[in-house]
Amino acid sequence: MQGCRNMSVLAGEQDVPRRLLYRWQMRLPGLVAPIAPCFAGLEDENRLLKQLLAERTLETDFFKGALQEIAARRQTDGGTGETASTTRCGQLCRCKAV
């Protein structure tokens, strides 16, 4: 295993399951160079990305709930759903525009 670059080939040559070779590799420290240094910093980045995803999920859930609340209020108001008329000045008004 020390000089092997392809575990699948080695597993075939030795007639053992490839997963078994990986288990052996993990149990025998120093046999093969550890893989972890290749991924330095990725754990922190992964943690940050998970935190950002959780925040975005909370924001999305909040806005979904707000939109559902607005839709429910509109349905219970019994309004026609039409756009309100405005006066020439642009203000909402119930009286007739001049």
State pLDDT tens for residues 56-69: 999 999 999 999 99
Which of the two residues, 27 and 63, has the higher pLDDT score? 63
> What residue type is 35 in one-letter code?
I
Looking at the predicted structure, is the pLDDT value of residue 37 above 60? no
Say how many domains are in the chain.
Answer: 1
Residue 68 covered by a domain:
no
Question: How much is the pTM?
Answer: 0.40
pLDDT of residue 98: 47
Residue 69 covered by a domain:
no
Residue 25 covered by a domain:
yes
Domain that holds residue 33: 1-58
Average pLDDT, whole number, for the chain?
A: 77
Residue 32 covered by a domain:
yes
CB 41 within 8 A of CB 48: no
Query: Helices 18-27 and 7-14 meet at what angle, rounded to 10?
Result: 110
Region 86-97: mean pLDDT is 57
Residue 94 covered by a domain:
no
